[in-house]
Amino acid sequence: MAKQRFTVIAALLLGTAPAAAGPDPAPPPPGPEARPTLAVEPPAPAAAPADLLHACWTPGQLAGTPQDKAIKRRLKPDRTPPPDWAIQAAASALPPLEPGLRGSIRRVDLTDPQARLVALTFDLCEQANERAGYDAELVKALRADGVPATFFAGGKWLRTHPEQAMQLMADPLFELGNHAWTHGNLRLIQGDEARNQILWAQAEYMVLRQALAERPCAVAAGPEALGRIPAWPTLFRFPYGVCNQGSLDAAAGLGLAAIQWDLVTGDPDKGRSAQAIAQAVRAGVKPGRGNIVVAHANGRGWHSAEALPLFVPQLRAQGYRFVTVTELLAAGRPVAAETCYEVRPGDNARYDALFGRGTGE
């Protein structure tokens, strides 16, 4: 079921099946029977869509700087919603989630029990009263090694990082999911307010996608290049990794699959070394399990960029392949829990007292 849904969504959003990567194969050399013909020539193979990422940004812009990681705290809270047109479009963008994808998805039972797939996920959390960072070094390392990843972006993070957000959108290596508007605790926040946390982040994504579409570089690249960027995120990650039935239903009602994790890097802890992060990933992955790893790319994943070279080559040598969450879901059956937790049920109960509503307002 998951595979069907994502295939359908991919077809709907892309409008076309993705072409194979790499250059078009050269035509075979003419054989002995080859002869000139006056018949109509077969149409030339379609050109590969333009590379939107490099059409719209210079290598220097894509590389960013180490300062991009800095976090600014105690700012005046931003309480401005996205524009109405985008909120309204987001509200009816996706059909309600199919039953096979409901619950809090922790990993994927792979159809092939010997398959070795891992989805790295990086959260881009930002509250109303801060400007979180962007881990340019991490993104650069993923790009350099061609490691696919899923970024769960807060709506307000998208607003304060439009260039980096559009770069992540335009990069075929990555996908963007939704990480709520201002990182609200969706176990305490309820009703319309909970729904708006989810909806407004969808809307902000649409605002940026539209802005990118209108840029001359994107217009010049043509509709097929832009069409490769999904019109909407289809994945959601609960801030603080907390939820309840009401907020699970709100996400599902908006068509979003709730993606938790089964491997925790612990990277928001400054004392957690790159070696410890890498060891947690290396020790946790298993054939057939379709692991989902949680880390951060908003300046709070203190040693995650450093950890990548300590586990990516080793796991690849063992036959593991890194994939986006959408690709992982298409490769098996999601394993979902009825509630959200860190490692075992109930282990995040203290977060309500610790973070409150969590929005920073």
Q: Which is nearer to Zn ion, 57 or 181 (CB)?
A: 181
Q: By C-alpha distance, which of 132, 243, 161, 163 is closest to 197?
A: 243
Q: Is 270 exposed, middle or buried (0-12, 13-18, 19+ CB in 10 A)?
A: exposed
Phi, psi of 46 (to 5 degrees): -60, 140
Minimum distance of Zn ion from residue 315's CB (angstroms) = 25
Decide if residue 123 touches Zn ion (CB under 5 A). yes
With contacts defined by CB under 5 A, name the span among 80-88, 122-130, 155-163, 193-201 that binds Zn ion.
122-130
Q: Which is nearer to Zn ion, 229 or 294 (CB)?
A: 294
Minimum distance of Zn ion from residue 133's CB (angstroms) = 13
With contacts defined by CB under 5 A, name the span among 38-46, 115-123, 275-283, 327-335 that binds Zn ion.
115-123
Minimum distance of Zn ion from residue 284's CB (angstroms) = 20
**Would you tell me the crossing angle of helices 191-214 and 245-253 to the nearest 10 degrees?**
30
- Distance separating alpha carbons of residues 335 and 138, to the nearest angstrom: 28
- Beta strand 291-296 pairing with 149-153: unpaired
* Strand ranges for the chain from DSSP E: 104-110, 117-124, 149-153, 174-178, 235-236, 257-259, 263-264, 291-296, 321-323, 332-337
As a whole number of angstroms, the longest Cα–Cα distance in the chain is 80
| Pattern 180-219, Zn ion, x by CB under 5 A | ----------------------------------------
- Distance separating alpha carbons of residues 53 and 342, to the nearest angstrom: 35
Minimum distance of Zn ion from residue 113's CB (angstroms) = 32
Near Zn ion by CB under 5 A: residue from 94, 97, 125, 218? 125
Q: Which is nearer to Zn ion, 182 or 326 (CB)?
A: 182
**Interaction residues for Zn ion, span 227-246 (CB under 5 A):** 239
Q: Which is nearer to Zn ion, 78 or 123 (CB)?
A: 123
Q: Which is nearer to Zn ion, 125 or 141 (CB)?
A: 125
- Distance separating alpha carbons of residues 230 and 256, to the nearest angstrom: 13
Task: Using CB under 5 A, list all residues that contact Zn ion.
Answer: 123, 125, 239
